[in-house]
Every structure is written in structure tokens, then in C-alpha cells.
Amino acid sequence: MSAIARESGVSKGTLYNYFTNKADLFAAFVEYNCQKKLPVALAPMKANQPVQETLTAIARAMVHLITQPESLMLYRIIVSEAPHFPHLATSFWQHGPRMGIEALSLWIEEQVKKGTLTVEDPEFAAEQFFTLCQTRIAHRKRFNMPFENEDTEKEKVIHAAVKMFLATYGNSRTV
């Protein structure tokens, strides 16, 4: 906390007025990052484009988000510290994945009403879509595993995620 206060140009006491400990400060940092980056990744839902184009844009944004060095670093820290500081994992879940799932779920519900998707459980479908976006790329990046043709592989994941999602939930009015 002393080093953080020094870097921030405030006293340690001032820092403790806002954060009880390092874990609370880190949780605030995680929340800030989620609030800053997630809306950008989910912005394609507001563009009123056809379903396939929207899902492709969301998939591309999510793949980009989860493979950014800062996102990878935060993920690794949260996973490693979760047993000791479960509120970090909870904070990340509530401000990151849960918010993304809720937003995509609402968009899916709108598409069901328009007749462009057929989905019984929009929340489950949203979780599936985000999981499809993590195929192959996310685990390799999280483990610092190099692989050839990264950009080609990302595009393959993006288009396959959309294709699989639409094969399950799309209909004749989707495209």
C-alpha cells in the first residue's frame, strides 16, 4: 500500500480512506477495467445490424478483449488469488462475465421477439456464445503458449462461433 500511495502521489492514510487493503484496491481496479472495456466489446449490439453481422462483431471484440495482455494478466491473477481472496473472483464475475452475459441475453431476447432467433434460454445461449469465442485462443494465450498464424486462428474461432451459434439458434429470418 505504501508503494501504491507513493506512485499515486497520496498519503497511505488517504489510500486507506478509500480501500481497506490491497485486495479491495485490486477489486476496484478489476471493476474499473471491466466497466471501461466491456461496453466497447458489447457495442455492436446497439448498431442494429443483421444478427450474423452483430454476432461476428461481438465475437471479434470478445476475442480481442480476452487476448489483450492486460486482460490475460488480470485473469491469471484473479484465478491464482481466488482461493485466498474469493471476493476478487466475485467482483470480476459480477462486473465482467455476468454483465456481458446479461447484456447479450437481453439482445438475444430482442432477437427472439423479432423472430430472428429461436432460443428457449437466452442466458444459457449467451454463455454458450461467449464460451465458443474462447475456443482454442483463450487457453493458449492464458498459458502463454505460442501458436502459428494467430490472426488466422482468431478469425477461424470468430466465424466458427457465429456459425455454430446460428446453426443451433438461427432460423430462416436470421441472415
CATH code (residue 66) = 1.10.357.10
Specify if 73 maps to a domain. Answer: yes
Confidence of residue 13 (pLDDT cuts 50, 70, 90): confident
Domain count, the chain: 1
The answer to whether residue 175 scores a pLDDT higher than 60 is no
Specify if 11 maps to a domain. Answer: no
Q: What percent of the chain has pLDDT over 90?
A: 60
Q: What is the pLDDT of residue 8?
A: 75
Specify if 174 maps to a domain. Answer: no
Residue located via cell numbers 481497506: 20
List the single range of 1-10, 44-53, 141-150 with lowest mean pLDDT. 1-10
Specify if 13 maps to a domain. Answer: no
pTM of the model: 0.86
Confidence of residue 30 (pLDDT cuts 50, 70, 90): confident
